[in-house]
A and B are shown apart, each in its own frame.
Chain A
Amino acid sequence: MAPIDLPPEKLIAEVVEYSRKLQAGAERLCTAGGLASGGLSSGVSPREVIYREDKLTLYRYLPDASASAAPNPVSEKVPLLIVYALVNRPYMADLQEDRSTIKGLLASGQPVYLIDWGYPDSADRFLTLDDYINGYIDRCVDRLLERHQVERINLLGICQGGTMSLCYTALHQPKVRNLVTMVTPVDFQTPDNMLSAWVRHLDVDLLVDVQGNIPGDFLNWTFLALKPFTLAGQKYVQLVDILEDQAQVENFLRMEKWIFDSPAQAGEAFRQFIKQFYQQNGLIRGEVILGEQPVKLNKITCPLLNIYGEQDHLVPPDASRALKGQTGSTDYSELAFPGGHIGIYVSGKAQALIPPSIGRWLDER
């Protein structure tokens, strides 16, 4: 224990400083981010509802009038539909004014739409992935085709939403012009995939039969358990470091709200996802069946941009990069982001890199 120099006077100084910051910050926490007046926002960009069905809402994000010479309610450009994961909430892509993938996409001139899956309840217990992909997503796509009078749309799938977008495109290729996948698992059994290891021997049939829908908290705790000392411990010590900075406190609180804002998962869809995708690794093996249709990645022939995080602890880079060579597309590109699963939406460098790159890539096609 020789290299530890912690005399009492040093410790007391550190304790006093920690306590002082905590006390000063407590008041700030009570007023930050509108907490005192009832809550934090869930997304910042103006939007309108285009379509609703069951718990689903299809939003159109309004272009920034100040950035557009002649705002057009229905852009002549090909609409871009964002398909978010069923896990967590989609406002991660629109977290705050200066950290918004959606704002960046709007600024790049894309007409942006997003599917918000809402919060499934017991009425949704028997929803399958077939219902989500060949039902909900397809009907949203049809709305956009009709609204924009086009034959194909652009699709941007995020995380599990990327996996669903790959399935959708494989089954409905004529309706998809370009496909962008972000932090999307394709090979679910790479050796570094912790989630995959954990569910390997899970009796998911029993789990769903007993639980019905899978509680959001179960997923929260599971994600925190990927790095528990950091995500459930050290993070709160680091919070004390930023308590004196109002803006940083608000950022922290927004992120905290998002992390714990986790909808339940429809039981049948969860069962299928764990069994077919994680336990059987069916997507890359061409063995996933939706409804009665096999999902074959080689049926995807449109241009494809695959974006992944080099330090992603949830979807390891190799899990995403596995897409290369699996599709029938002759126009496949990759974009590696030097960050993690969340940083790819909210970090400063992501704002400068990701949305403009997507915009340019789409415009070129």
Chain B
Amino acid sequence: MGESDFLNDDWLEAQRNYWAEWSARAGQSGAGAEPALNPWEQALNQWWQSLAPTAPQMVQELLEKTLAQGRQLFQLAEQFAATGQRPEGGPDWQAAAQQTIGDLRGILAGITASMSPLPEAVTEGATDYLERLSALPGLGLVQGSQAQREVIARLLRFQKAHQAYELFFVDLGKQAIARLQDEIAKLDGQGETLDSARALYDLWVSVCEGVYAGQVMTPAYVELYAELINSQMALKQQLRDMLDESFTLLGMPTTRDFRAQEQRAHQDRQALRALQAEVAAMRRAPAKKRAGSRKRPAVAGK
């Protein structure tokens, strides 16, 4: 690692100072301003930035995920420990826990994003997005039409589904936090102690997975999930149809044209396979039978 080595004495000293400051702040009532960024994160980020450009793509992705999980692991522990040191406790650990649910929301957003994603603006600001959409030369041709009203209706439907989906995860986070408190209380009753960040993180994962598994099998979630995908597809369909209409006016090939070509190619391929099978069957048939079958049409024609 050489120059990129981050585990040097300076870093360790900074880390000690950070934890000392953090420990002092955590003991104070009302904690006050947020402490500076954890030197662990700072050092790791710097080290990673120096290594990342030279690492293969797969390693980059893998280590980024590992770093992200490491941050979650220690941030969660940090907030828990701080809560334990404050006389009145505090909600910070819950915020850190909720953050991990927020990250999960990002993971699940990958499902919709993988379906040839809609522009982010669709989920963030419908008005701006529609203004930009209307400004496109092609779409401008149908401005004010029934088609445009339809796209607005579908956009609103998708936004509603997206918001409901987001709310589901906020609620999931609250349920997971309540379950974690129950689990910790159980440990307390059994005289057991969580004595590492990792043990806390593993318990948190187990709790989240349990709550999640129960919630995503409910009829409410099943409908929510379907509506998210269905509304996204309905919107895309409308946008595509509007673009196709514009392409037609401009004399350009449309999605419908392309699909028709694909279908024609497929039908040709099936016809070719059928012919190949017929030829193969004829080759396998005894010569005598082949000769007989050749004569038959002539007889039938008389």
Contacts and interface: CB of A to CB of B under 8 A. Distances in A.
Given A6-B81, A19-B6, A215-B115, A237 B69 contact: yes
Given A12-B16, A135-B273, A201 B222 contact: yes
A20 B229 CA distance: 43
A51 to B, nearest CB: 13
B262 interface: yes
Chain A facing B: main interface SS: helix
Given A3-B187, A237-B70, A228 B196 contact: no
Interface stretch (A63-71, A107-115, A219-227, A318-326): A219-227
Nearest to B38: A15
| Residue among B47, B56, B68, B80 with most chain A CB within 10 A | B56
Contact of B262 (A125, A210, A225): A125
Nearest to B208: A229
A110 to B, nearest CB: 28
Interface residues of A, number: 70
Given A12-B16, A202-B226, A7 B81 contact: yes
A215 B89 CA distance: 47
Nearest to B258: A122
Contacts of A127: 266
Nearest to B230: A203
A239 B66 contact: yes
B7 A6 contact: no
A8 interface: yes
A217 B114 contact: yes
Contacts of B77: 6, 11, 14
Interface stretch (A78-86, A91-99, A192-200, A334-342): A192-200
Given A1-B80, A30-B56, A211-B233, A237 B198 contact: yes
A253 interface: yes
Nearest 8 pairs of A and B residues by beta carbon: A201-B226, A217-B114, A126-B266, A6-B81, A8-B19, A221-B110, A218-B114, A221-B111
Given A6-B80, A228-B212, 5 more contacts: A3-B188, A16-B15, A224-B107, A229-B212, A232-B65
Interface of A: 1-12, 14-16, 18-20, 22-23, 26-27, 29-30, 35-36, 54, 122-123, 125-127, 131, 135, 194, 197-203, 206-207, 209-212, 215, 217-218, 220-222, 224-225, 227-230, 232-234, 236-237, 239-240, 253, 256-257
